[in-house]
């Protein structure tokens, strides 16, 4: 369906994730000591003004809507799209979003979570500064479906996207993948931010919420604790293609959002991508046993790319979702647009091709991907997970986590 092109470098024109923070958010953000450098002074100088803007509007939003939002019930369990970054989660999200029975967090809501109920209709009349994502040719507007992890980064600062604040010290990236490593207060902060965001969406729109954030692939026990009847779609893709695209994603995200010099210091991120991919796959293999059979469906990106209608139909049949006939009509024009989409094209590095296969051989075999035919052997070195830190006051495991341990023991 798609054509390849050289890796793109679209600009956000100075707009950063941190521009969605209030002054209180920024105070907590800088207490974490993100990487700073004088060459990013222009970026730093704008943050107090954006923080004051968000604080003022956030206060007004709270005064008007907080009591109503607190009394809002999320009656329909969300549908979660899982999969490692660059596995095709965005493509799947955009296609499922065509179902009129679903709502999704959009770009404006993700970037300004503290006051979108008050300001969205007015501010979104102004065009977004950039029309494509910084790492690929995917179009983006204020109303495009977006990741809730962006809003969680702004509000709770327990998010994989905290990596963009300090690409060298990656401890918060790893800790957000394993929420059991958080203290009780930190976990409560994440949970309150997550549920608060979903309640704000539900207050605005009662439809079922469609959620896409790759980090939720690591959060299945916590999600089931909050939404026992949640449904999940897991999308997978050839691991080497995911690896090289994820490295590019990190580089572009850091270049556009970092406040320090570290965007020029990219050493170790290839290893980190492999390690987090491997950890995510192993965790998914354990955690998926907690999900009832009719609540989880797996799809291949390669199938979605070749035959999106048949792939989406398989999701609706497996998860017993209604209304595919309506979705099919809505998808037809979207599929025509996809035919013109140009994917990033990367040169293969035989050493990394082999390394990815060696570390992720179980993933290749589990999902039926062929072993690569490479010219140069690589030296086998175990990939470590150096940032899965122990905390002084770890959170007690949830009921779902305890059940997971029982399932793992029985499975051996």
Determine the Cα–Cα distance for residues 190 and 182; give it in Å rounded to an integer.
10
For the segment 2-32, what is each residue's pLDDT rounded down to a tens digit? 444 445 555 554 678 999 999 999 999 999 9
Higher-pLDDT residue of 380, 292: 292
For the segment 27-60, what is each residue's pLDDT rounded down to a tens digit?
999 999 888 888 889 899 999 999 999 999 999 9
Task: Calculate mean pLDDT across residues 94-113.
Answer: 95
Task: Provide the 10 A C-beta neighbour count for residue 169.
Answer: 15
Report the C-alpha gap between 228 and 306 in whole angstroms: 33
Cα-flanking dihedrals φ and ψ of residue 55, to 5°?
Answer: -65, -45
What is the number of alpha carbons within 13 Å of residue 50 lying toward its C-beta? Answer: 21
Residues 6+ apart with CB under 8 A from 319: 79, 231, 233, 294, 295, 297
- Percentage of the chain lying above the pLDDT 90 cut: 60
Is the distance from CB of 310 to CB of 114 less than 8 angstroms?
Answer: no
What is the reported pTM?
Answer: 0.86
> What whole-number distance in Å separates Cα of residue 258 and Cα of residue 325?
45
What letter would DSSP give residue 261?
Answer: S
Whole-number average pLDDT of the chain? 85
pLDDT in tens, 201-255: 999 999 999 999 999 999 999 999 999 999 999 999 999 999 998 998 888 888 8
Please spell the DSSP secondary structure of 112-131, one letter per residue.
Answer: -TTTHHHHHHHHTTSPPS-S
CATH number of 3-346+382-411: 3.40.50.300
pLDDT tens digits, 115-168: 999 999 999 998 776 555 554 556 778 899 999 999 999 999 999 999 988 888
Asked if residues 98 and 331 have their Cβ atoms less than 8 Å apart, the reply is: yes
Asked if the model's pLDDT at residue 393 lies above 70, the reply is no
Q: CA 136, CA 384: separation in Å to the nearest integer? A: 29
Report pLDDT digits (tens) over 260-275.
875 545 667 899 999 9
């Amino acid at each position: 369906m798609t054509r390849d092109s050289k890796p793109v470098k679209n600009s956000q024109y100075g707009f950063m994730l941190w521009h969605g923070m209030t002054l209180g958010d920024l105070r907590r953000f800088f207490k974490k000591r993100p990487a700073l450098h004088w060459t990013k002074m222009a970026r730093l100088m704008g943050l107090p003004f954006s923080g004051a803007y968000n604080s003022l509007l956030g206060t007004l939003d709270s005064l008007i809507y907080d009591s109503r939002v607190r009394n809002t019930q999320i009656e329909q369990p969300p549908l979660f799209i899982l999969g490692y970054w660059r596995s095709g989660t965005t493509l799947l999200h955009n296609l499922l979003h065509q179902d009129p029975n679903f709502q999704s967090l959009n770009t404006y809501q993700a970037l300004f979570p503290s006051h979108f109920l008050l300001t969205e209709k007015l501010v979104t009349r102004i065009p977004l500064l950039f029309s494509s994502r910084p790492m690929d040719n995917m179009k983006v507007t204020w109303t495009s479906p977006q990741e809730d992890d962006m809003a969680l980064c702004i509000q709770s600062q327990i998010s994989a996207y905290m990596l963009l604040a300090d690409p060298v010290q990656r401890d918060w990236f790893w800790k957000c993948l394993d929420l059991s490593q958080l203290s009780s207060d930190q976990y409560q902060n994440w949970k309150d931010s997550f549920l608060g965001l979903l309640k704000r969406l539900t207050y605005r729109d009662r439809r079922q919420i469609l959620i896409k954030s790759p980090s939720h692939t690591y959060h299945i026990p916590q999600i089931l604790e909050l939404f026992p009847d949640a449904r999940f779609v897991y999308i997978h893709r050839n691991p080497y293609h995911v690896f090289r695209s994820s490295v590019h994603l990190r580089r572009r995200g850091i270049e556009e959002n970092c406040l320090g010099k570290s965007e020029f210091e990219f050493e170790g991120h290839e290893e980190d991508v492999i390690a987090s991919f491997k950890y995510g796959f192993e965790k998914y293999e354990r955690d998926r046993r907690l999900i009832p059979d009719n609540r989880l469906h797996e799809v291949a990106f390669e199938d979605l790319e070749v035959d999106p209608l048949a792939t989406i139909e398989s999701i609706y049949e497996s998860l017993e979702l209604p209304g595919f006939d309506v979705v099919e009509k809505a998808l037809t024009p979207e599929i025509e647009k996809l035919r013109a989409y140009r994917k990033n094209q990367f040169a293969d590095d035989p050493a990394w091709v082999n390394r990815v296969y060696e570390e992720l051989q179980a993933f290749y075999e589990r999902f039926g991907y062929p072993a690569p035919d490479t010219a140069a052997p690589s030296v086998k070195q175990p990939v470590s997970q150096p940032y899965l830190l122990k905390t002084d006051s770890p959170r007690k495991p949830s009921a779902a986590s305890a059940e997971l341990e029982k399932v793992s023991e029985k499975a051996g």
